[in-house]
Chain A
């Protein structure tokens, strides 16, 4: 096991390096400049700015300069917000995004799994249809529409929740719910389908025949296997929810990381693009790794350390 983990960690470094390299040349390949403005920018001013950020050097030179500073985990200063370093941006934004992400994931997993199990138990019954209608709406109504509707109804019309910003737990409810609906629906669907499959297995039938209650069957036998597909997508879901909540963060004016991903690219703010990409990829690869490990632990049919035979 230890050897496997070590191998994977080493592979992660290589993977990261490849991502860094591709991203670096990709972002320099697309047209645009961090100093592009609709308004007047004189030639001389432009050159001063480029010199200031070493953008007048050949791309290869810039690449090695970047790798050097990356080795010390220094992502450099943002070009657009020149008084802020990318490390500061991540340091400020990530905890907020993480808070929002964990909250909405908790909502999504709990309600999704419960919905899915009930739907599966009453396969083709009323509850099944209601639960799946719910799930379909959750998937097909995108979160920006959901968010705007929630604000309009619950914050403006009924004034139960505050409209936006991130200052108290009360402020977190609407964005967390809006962000949770999509993943919740996905989890509900997955849980339902794998649950139905598991419930038809012989060992469940045996358990039923033994006279176990439905609750016991679900909790003791079915759940574990039924949740395997959920765990598979959880890794990417976590990374996605934590970092891909740009739209929700924008609508609710939440100071998270989402906007750096999008604005960094829109502004061609090269250090921000690189910094967020490195951070995100590392996080994501880590999550995928954890999922693999969790998979091995939960599913006795897979043996990680024996792979390669």
Chain B
């Protein structure tokens, strides 16, 4: 027995000693190794953080930023967004639009090739787009294809693949019929959901997208290494038609899922860009280090119009007007967000070249005394002596909590109402919000495609994004009209009218528009972050 213990202990000691010595030995190696890597050979290596393992590099599957930010640089659709967020010819050299705006004919570049050297064909696109809508693919992004004639029917199982109106006319010509004239179609198809896939590869190997070896891409970069859960590496794709404009030789993507750590790695030079830990944003803005880029989306709150006391419009308005958005962005979030007074974010120009938001103006104002008045009026209408208890629910996160706490104080001061706070685990929260079980809850919206209609269509009756129980016939018909309107000017008018109805009845109220606060090494230039869309590295360069 004695021996066993002694042995056990010596074994543990041994492990400890070996562990210690190996760490000492390798310390010098690892230091010199990591430093020398990039500079010695003169290769340009960009070091980014992807946050976590991409859910999938199969275009229709990985419907999230951890997959599509990277994928956007591996593949290329018919179009690609430029630095002004305008669609430019990419895999398509050019395209024709029919008079009624419903038929698009794309002409694919002669020199558009896959990373395996084979040409990108119209058939690849037809295959990929039908795969997107195929119910068996179960793509979460399939609804983006619904603008195409027959795609919705195919996806919901009511139609067949043949009914979906996408067609390879010849090897390099691709024709699409839309169900309604969609002016922003060229912008829409820059989205990774519409990326082509190499038909032969996909048919031969359904697992083609899971490893670097079998991955075939047609974008500025190719996947050269993928150590799952650890990192993946891009290499410049020499087969890319515009390879001469690509400056970087390699992009290393780490998977660091902690903002503090990410920031610390940025400080030690292990990363070229980083997000900003919430408590540091003020400081870093003051030092002029943090940068801001708009993101097309809105942080807002939903009222449940089927639950007391928010069935009453005036009470809803009172709760909306008691909120001071300016104070929240200035003292609570401190991220230089723009306070939101409407639902559609900045960044959408109408035919006259003016921003949708500027034309729409402020649709909700901060006015404590008016809010108090409206609350009393609403209570009178409903016959309340005291307001039914109000619980504000948010899904757990420091930033949501801060805003909720600030709102709670604003309601106490402006309306004299004590609001209870409740936080929930994300999935429970989401389920309950969708089932209209929450009285008053935080929400967010990030645009899936770059058009105000994407924001506004959410509040159609019964839409999966509605989640308020709110329904307005006039609003519904305005959205329908806007979707079928070919005259852009008229279309914007319809959308403005719809937005003002939304704010007249106030089933929601906005807090701020989203932005992206980040740090970036001075050596790095040319990374484009689109308000709608994904990170662009084609133009990126490093000193």
Contacts and interface: CB of A to CB of B under 8 A. Distances in A.
A163 B431 contact: no
A39 B1 contact: no
Interface in B434-466: 434, 443-446, 448, 458, 464-465
B29 A253 contact: no
A165 interface: yes
Nearest to A260: B229
Interface in A206-228: 219-220, 223-224, 227
Contacts of A49: 138, 140
Interface in A136-158: 148, 151-152, 155-156
Given A30-B428, A164-B265, A170-B23, A106 B16 contact: yes
Contacts of B71: none
Nearest to B155: A44
A92 interface: yes
Interface stretch (A9-17, A59-67, A81-89, A118-126): A81-89
B140 A41 contact: yes
Contacts of A132: none
Interface string B216-233: 000000000001111100
B30 A162 contact: yes
A229 interface: no
A255 interface: yes
Contacts of A290: none
Interface in A31-67: 31-33, 35-46, 48-49, 51-52
B132 to A, nearest CB: 11
Contacts of B207: 83
A228 B265 CA distance: 43
A304 interface: no
A80 B138 CA distance: 12
Given A92-B228, A173-B23, A251 B260 contact: yes
Interface residues of B, number: 75
A169 B431 contact: no
Contacts of B255: 253, 255
Contacts of B257: 250, 253, 259
Given A83-B209, A253-B258, A259-B257, A39 B270 contact: no
Contacts of A201: none
Contact of B264 (A37, A92, A93, A155): A155
B55 A80 contact: yes
B136 A52 contact: yes
A74 interface: no
A7 interface: no
Given A106-B12, A156-B267, A266-B427, A48 B155 contact: yes
Contact of A83 (B56, B231, B268, B434): B56
A31 B2 contact: no
Interface in B298-357: none
17 contacts: A31-B432, A32-B431, A33-B431, A39-B465, A41-B140, A45-B138, A45-B143, A45-B155, A106-B16, A164-B261, A169-B22, A172-B19, A224-B1, A266-B425, A267-B427, A268-B427, A297-B4
B256 A164 contact: yes
Binding site of A, secondary structure by majority: helix, strand, loop or mixed? Answer: helix
Given A38-B443, A170-B26, A298-B5, 10 more contacts: A41-B143, A44-B143, A83-B58, A84-B210, A92-B229, A156-B264, A163-B270, A253-B256, A268-B427, A297-B1
A176 to B, nearest CB: 8
A156 B261 CA distance: 10
A41 B464 contact: yes
Interface string A110-124: 100100000000000
A41 B146 CA distance: 13
Interface string B228-241: 11110000000000
Contacts of B448: 39-40
A162 B269 CA distance: 10
Give the 9 A-B CB pairs with smallest separation, nearest first: A32-B427, A255-B229, A52-B138, A253-B256, A168-B30, A44-B156, A31-B431, A83-B210, A169-B23
B101 interface: no
A109 B11 CA distance: 12
B292 to A, nearest CB: 22
Contacts of B430: 32, 36-38
A227 to B, nearest CB: 7
A159 interface: yes
Contacts of B210: 83-84
A81 B53 contact: yes
A57 to B, nearest CB: 15
B142 interface: yes
A103 B19 contact: yes
A83 B57 CA distance: 9
Give the residue among A32, A39, A41, A171 with the most B Cβ atoms within 10 A: A39
B384 interface: no
B230 A165 contact: yes
Nearest to B227: A255
A40 B265 contact: no
Contacts of A43: 464
A224 B7 CA distance: 12
